[in-house]
Amino acid sequence: MVDLFTYPPVLKGFIVLIITGFAFPITGVYLLRMNLLPLRFMLMHGAILGGALSLAMSINPFGGTLVINLLLVLLMTWMSRSLKADPGQLSAFFMVVSISVAFIFIYRFQVPAKDTLSLMWGSLYTLNSFEFIGTLVFSLLLIIFQAQYRHQLRAVFFDSDVARTAGVNETGFYYGIILITAVTVAAAMKLIGALLLDALLLLPALIASYHAKSYKGMVLWSSFWGGLFATVGFLLSLAFDLPASSTIAVFAALVFLILILTQKK
Amino acid sequence: MEHSLVLFQNEKQIFFSDEHWLYPLFEVEQFLGERSISPNELFLRDKIAGKAAAALIVKLGIRNCFIELLSERAIPVFKKYGVNYSYQKLVDHIQCRTEDLITDKMTLEETYLFLRKRAGKVQGVSLKINSLSVDIAGKQILDNLELDLGRGEQLVVQGENGSGKTTLIRSILGLIPSINGSITIGEEVVGSSGWQKNRVQTGYLNQETIKNNFPITAAEVVAIGLSSQKLPETERAYRVELAMRKTGSFHLMSKLFHQLSGGEKQRVSLARCLCQNARLLLLDEPTSYLDEKGREELYELLVDLSKNEAPTMLLVSHDSNWTDRLKWQGKILKGGKLW
């Protein structure tokens, strides 16, 4: 199995997966705390639209996914705040629109559906240098953001009104978190796909929320579980010749199940 | 006597001040607060003393003093509390507005708090509302509302559900973007850049409605009050501990906030406001979800707070049985105005 690491795509995939495994669950904490789960669905569908558009225009799907997701979150956030519309309903609306437009593009530009659907399960071993470095840099920035603004984030997650009265720029952090979520989802789509990205994003945060005894503990435990799932899942996939993304997701789900079943009532 | 006030310990001069009015005595209070000195060893020489100064001397625990110019109004205070006094000249009263404002009905504690407020030695900040009108979804909630609250004063606003009590609080907090009229906290108009910089001076204790099970400890909730301040972690931890000790919630430090009782949560939330060093405290129906024990705990905390730190406090509630016990001044919010 060690021999496999001599192949650059495998090594690159492993490195990026481990780093994101530790970093991306931080976004999971944000998603859980800000109740942004519907947003995540919208971004998954937005990523498919971005992928379809990129493939239709023969450009890098990673960049296209990123741009579409950023546009979607900005539009959704602006509409929800300025029109006082429900973010959940808006997310559902954009989700439907995104997937509809994506399929129109797939049909009209004869984009191979297989290529578009590869976004569903990710393509860890096909990372180019831009994607590799970009994902690592983003992961690093995410960790720095969390470390630098941990006090303000804690206030925003606790109560937005209390945060504002404590002098925290709640609106700024809200937009920041939304943008970070958009980038994280786009990057995670490339790594493990739309259908499985929750294994890296949400499951670690969800598990941590069951046993963490503080906000700090929740962030650290989420990061730990994400890193563990990524590492063990990846190694298992190599050992048993299984798809990396599915193995990670199954391993994470198993741990989640065990912890739920063994948790004290 | 060169200085306006001199303090001796066993005949050795340990402090002097050249300030005027009651400030030298407040300086003595600070001086003694930083040292461990038995009041019995102290002897105070002061240039002028009236009823107000006498009350402060008693509060400081000083038993022996010499006053150059003494008001007759000070003598009953000294006699009542067993202070040995002597003087150079006795007058029936001194030219001091403060002395006229102290009534015989006021207890020593009340007099002391009153003097602290007049001297600006309380945490509170003034709140002035001019012609405040708030319209939400086409409905006039507040209509040319006026309010003037001095430093360290407390006010209970009562009103029926839907009368606009929460809207008033949210307007003062700057959480309602479009208002007519002006709200001034200290020197800063709500919404101005100066107010943004000093926003932390307003603390907010909301209805105990934060029901989520977010894993956050009580100490972390208190630390939220320091979120926008750049402090070393040791200083942050110290301030959190201090605030929690003041509100008797120190033992809850590592407990999960969502597992606390309603009363404990309000205790922790008050500690958050103290940690924030809030000078204006806005309390929105703080007893809504509290049982009898929680209501009693909160009552004691607020009474204690109004005597010590004395932030300016505005409390809105429809629970008149509970607010009546606070003995704060009260107003009714009706028809969008305060009566």
Token pair of A22 as six digits: 């530790």
Q: Which of A83-92, A112-121, B132-141, B310-319 has the lowest mean pLDDT?
A: A112-121
Residue B94 distance to chain A (closest CA, Å): 45
**Cβ distance of B214 and A155 shorter than 8 Å:** no
Interval B135-168: pLDDT, tens: 988 888 999 999 999 888 899 999 888 889 989 9
In this structure, which amino acid lies at residue B33? G
Q: How confident is the model at residue B208 (pLDDT cuts 50, 70, 90)?
A: low
Burial label for B65, CB within 10 Å (0-12, 13-18, 19+), is buried
Q: Which pLDDT score, from 0 to 100, does residue B206 have?
A: 81
Give the ipTM of the model, two decimals please: 0.82
Q: Report the run of H or E that residue B205 belongs to, with start and end.
A: strand B202-205
**Cβ distance of A155 and B227 shorter than 8 Å:** yes
Place of tokens 């110019």: B69
Q: Which pLDDT score, from 0 to 100, does residue B85 have?
A: 93
Residues of B with CB below 8 A from A158's CB? 210, 214, 216, 221, 224
Pick the residue of B204, B205, B227 with the most A CBs within 10 A to test the interface with A by mutation: B227
**Cβ distance of B199 and A164 shorter than 8 Å:** yes
Q: How confident is the model at residue B320 (pLDDT cuts 50, 70, 90)?
A: confident
**Cβ distance of B215 and A209 shorter than 8 Å:** yes
Measured between CB atoms, does A221 come within 8 Å of chain B? Answer: no
Q: Which pLDDT score, from 0 to 100, does residue A40 have?
A: 79
Interval A148-185: pLDDT, tens: 999 999 999 998 889 999 999 998 998 899 889 888 88
Asked if residue B203 lies in contact with residue A165, where contact means CB atoms within 8 angstroms, the answer is yes
Asked if residue B103 lies in contact with residue B140, where contact means CB atoms within 8 angstroms, the answer is no
Q: Which of B65-69, B117-121, B249-253, B297-301 has the lowest mean pLDDT?
A: B117-121
B170 → chain A, closest CA residue: A161
3-state secondary structure of B156: strand
A207 → chain B, closest CA residue: B215
Q: Which pLDDT score, from 0 to 100, does residue B210 have?
A: 57
Question: Pairing between strand B280-284 and B202-205?
Answer: parallel
Q: Which residue has the higher pLDDT, B223 or A3?
A: B223
Interface of B with A (CB under 8 A): 173-175, 199-200, 202-204, 206, 210, 213-217, 220-221, 223-229, 254, 256, 272, 276
Interval A129-144: pLDDT, tens: 888 898 899 999 999 9
Residues of B with CB below 8 A from A166's CB? 200, 224-228, 272, 276
Option in A151, A167, A209 nearest B199 (CB) = A167
Residues of A with CB below 8 A from B206's CB? 159, 161-162
Q: Which of A22-36, A82-96, B18-32 has the lowest mean pLDDT?
A: A82-96
Any bridge partners for residue B46, and if so which?
Answer: B5, B67
CA gap A194, A121 in Å, rounded: 6
**Cβ distance of B214 and A213 shorter than 8 Å:** no
Residue pairs between chains A and B whose CB atoms are closer than 8 Å: 80
Cα A146 to chain centroid distance, Å, stands at 16
Q: How confident is the model at residue A193 (pLDDT cuts 50, 70, 90)?
A: confident
Token pair of B6 as six digits: 């001199």
CA gap B64, B78 in Å, rounded: 10
Which distant-in-sequence residues (6+ apart) come within 8 Å of B286 by Cβ? B205, B207, B208, B266, B298, B315, B317
* Mean pLDDT of chain B, nearest integer: 89
Buried-state track B302-327, b at ≥16 Cβ within 10 A, e below 16 = beebbeebbbbbbbbbbbeebbeebe
Q: Which pLDDT score, from 0 to 100, does residue B99 have?
A: 82
Residues of A with CB below 8 A from B223's CB? 151, 154
Residues of A with CB below 8 A from B228's CB? 152, 166-168
Q: Which pLDDT score, from 0 to 100, does residue A79 have?
A: 86
pLDDT of residue B201 exceeding 80, the answer is: yes
Interval B87-106: pLDDT, tens: 999 998 888 888 888 888 88
Q: Which pLDDT score, from 0 to 100, does residue A28 have?
A: 92
Interval A55-80: pLDDT, tens: 888 887 778 888 888 898 888 888 88
Any bridge partners for residue B8, and if so which?
Answer: B13, B43
CA gap A60, B57 in Å, rounded: 80
Q: Which residue has the higher pLDDT, A85 or A17?
A: A17
In this structure, which amino acid lies at residue B254? S
**Cβ distance of B223 and A163 shorter than 8 Å:** no
Place of tokens 């639209």: A49
Angle, CA of B193, B198 and B203, to the nearest 5°: 130
**What are A35-39's contacts with CB under 8 Å, separation 24+?**
A36/A87, A36/A177, A36/A178, A36/A181, A37/A202, A38/A87, A38/A88, A38/A91, A38/A92, A38/A95, A39/A73, A39/A76, A39/A87, A39/A91, A39/A178, A39/A181
CA gap A251, A2 in Å, rounded: 21
Which distant-in-sequence residues (6+ apart) come within 8 Å of A221 by Cβ? A204, A207, A208, A211, A212
Q: Which pLDDT score, from 0 to 100, does residue B132 have?
A: 93
Option in A155, A157, A161 nearest B206 (CB) = A161
Which domains does chain A possess?
A: 2-196 (1.10.3470.10)
CA gap A127, B216 in Å, rounded: 38
A33 → chain B, closest CA residue: B214
